[in-house]
Structures are given as C-alpha cells and as structure tokens.
C-alpha cells in the first residue's frame, strides 16, 4: 500500500490583494447607529423629568428612524428589523421594571454571552474571528485546515474577548449595578465605535504577527491534501 504523503497547498482561488481586517468586519456605521437610541433614551429621560415612558418612546422612535434611513441607503431589511426589535425589547424591560438603567440590561447580557461564546470558540479551536472572516471571504471552513491560520485567529480572538467584551461587561455591569443611567449612556457611546476601532486595530496586528513569516495571508489558507498534490506556486 502506498503511503499517503501530505503537502501544503496555497489556495489561489481569490485575488492576491489583502484586505484590512476592519474592511472585512464592517465599518463604523453599524456601531454608530446602535448608539443613537440609547443616547436618545438618556436625553429624553432627563428632559422629561426622568420619565421612563417618554424615554422609551423616544428611543423606539429613534430606532425606527435610524432603521428607515439605513433602509433607504441599501441596508438589509432583516438587520433594520432586528435593530428596532432590540431597542423595543430594551424599552419594554425598562418599563416593566421601572428602572431606567434596565434599558441597558440587554447590552450587558449580550456582552456576557459574547465573551463566553468567543472564549469557548477559542478553546475548541473554532475561533469566531476565523469563522466570521472565513464567511466574508467565501472560504467557508477551509481556513481550519491551516494550523497557522487557526492559531493566528485564536490569538487575535482573545483581543475581542478581553479588550472588548470583558471590558464592556465590567464597565456596564458596574454602572448598571450602581444605577448610573447617564454614565451608562456615555459608556454606550465610548464603548461602541471607538472601542471597536481599537479592537480591530489591535487584533489585526496580533493576527498578522501570529502568522508564519512565509504565510501568504488570510485570503490564501494552506491546506493539507493527499498524494498527487504539489505545492502551488505563489504568483
């Protein structure tokens, strides 16, 4: 029986030009849009004499307005509906509990869930950063057959866990527990696009430095194939 010999092959199905990680994962528009309803909620809460009802109505109106505006600019309907639904649920929770700070409870819980999910994905060697980028690049799961990419995506994913999700949990959790509504609104803005931009920058650096020096990049995962394959020359 002939022995199977593995060899490394570079995927050449995509162009050689590398795309910045921030471009692959989206710009700041979504993060900025998501900050509008919470800011409107806090402002309306203050102006109305701390009325949760008026604040909730204002936040939902702002969410709908942002959704309609984004739809007019080509955003997907499902994304706009999901955004409005999230704002509406946050407003409903605040109205039910009678605590304005509970408007931010979904934000806190979603970051707890994200931190746990990203950590688990790293531990089982399915780092979510790789999953997301792989889908965007149309690679599906080919990147998982490249040990160098798996390790690099894992290292970069820790930046998202520690530098974004865990930080948000600590800040939002402390402010929510203390009942500081205005501070929660400020934190919602500061820990939105500015933090996302910083996380993207740092994770891109970690990702690049974690790859072997001779690695062709994110668009070109190296996969192990069986006998008869040969190394595809880099162009």
What is the tens place of the pLDDT at every residue in 103-156? Answer: 999 999 999 999 999 999 999 999 999 999 998 888 888 999 999 999 999 999
pLDDT of residue 217: 84
Sign for the CA dihedral angle at 66, 71, 74, 79 comes to positive
At what angle are helices 193-210 and 29-47 packed, to 10 degrees? 150
* Three-class secondary structure of residue 67 per DSSP: helix
CA distances from residue 136 to 15, 24, 203, 209 in whole angstroms, order as listed? 14, 7, 17, 21
Tens of pLDDT, residues 185-232: 999 999 988 899 899 999 999 999 999 988 888 888 887 543 333 344
Separation of alpha carbons 113 and 54, rounded Å: 30
Is 229 within a domain? no
**Going by C-beta distance under 8 Å and a sequence separation of 6 or more, which residues neighbour residue 178?**
none
Domain count, the chain: 1
DSSP assignment of 121-136: HHHTT--HHHHHHHHH
Q: How many residues appear in the chain? A: 235
Q: Classify residue 231: in a domain, yes or no.
A: no
The pLDDT value given to residue 180: 97
Taking the C-alpha atoms of residue 234 and residue 220, their distance in angstroms, rounded to an integer, is 10
Q: Is residue 228 part of a domain?
A: no
47 falls within a domain: yes
The token duo for 200 is: 């993207």
- For residue 223, being part of any structural domain is answered with no
Strand partners, 225: 7
Q: Is residue 53 part of a domain?
A: yes
Contact in structure between 176 and 104 (CB atoms under 8 Å): yes
> Which residue has 């994200």 as its token pair?
114
Chain centre to alpha carbon of residue 231: 35
For residue range 67-104, what is the model confidence (pLDDT) as tens digits?
888 888 776 778 778 889 999 999 999 999 999 999 99
65-75 b/e with 16+ CB inside 10 Å = b?
Answer: ebbeebeeeeb
3-class DSSP assignment, residue 175: helix
Range of the domain at 117: 24-214
Q: Is residue 60 part of a domain?
A: yes
Residue 198 token pair: 């910083």
Residue 14 lies in a domain: no
Closest listed residue to residue 220, CA positions, set 233, 203, 230:
233
């Amino acid at each position: 029986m002939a022995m199977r010999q593995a060899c490394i092959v570079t995927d050449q199905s995509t162009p050689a030009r590398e795309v910045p990680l921030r471009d692959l994962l989206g710009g700041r528009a979504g993060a900025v849009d998501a900050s509008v309803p919470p800011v409107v909620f806090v402002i309306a809460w203050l102006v109305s004499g701390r009325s949760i009802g008026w604040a909730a109505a204002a936040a939902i109106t702002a969410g709908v307005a942002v959704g309609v505006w984004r739809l007019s600019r080509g955003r997907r309907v499902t994304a706009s509906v999901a955004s409005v639904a999230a704002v509406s649920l946050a407003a409903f929770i605040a109205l039910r509990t009678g605590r304005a700070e509970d408007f931010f409870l979904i934000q806190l819980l979603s970051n707890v869930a994200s931190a746990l999910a990203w950590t688990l994905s790293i531990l089982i060697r399915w780092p979510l950063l790789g999953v997301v980028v792989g889908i965007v690049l149309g690679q599906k799961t080919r990147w998982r057959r490249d040990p160098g990419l798996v390790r690099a995506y894992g290292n970069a994913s820790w930046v998202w866990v520690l530098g974004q999700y865990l930080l948000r949990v600590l800040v939002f959790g402390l402010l929510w527990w203390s009942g500081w509504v205005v501070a929660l609104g400020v934190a919602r803005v500061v820990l939105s696009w500015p933090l996302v931009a910083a996380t993207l920058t740092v994770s891109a650096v970690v990702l690049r430095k974690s790859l072997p020096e001779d690695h062709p990049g994110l668009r070109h995962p190296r996969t192990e194939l069986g006998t008869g394959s040969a190394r595809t020359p880099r162009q």
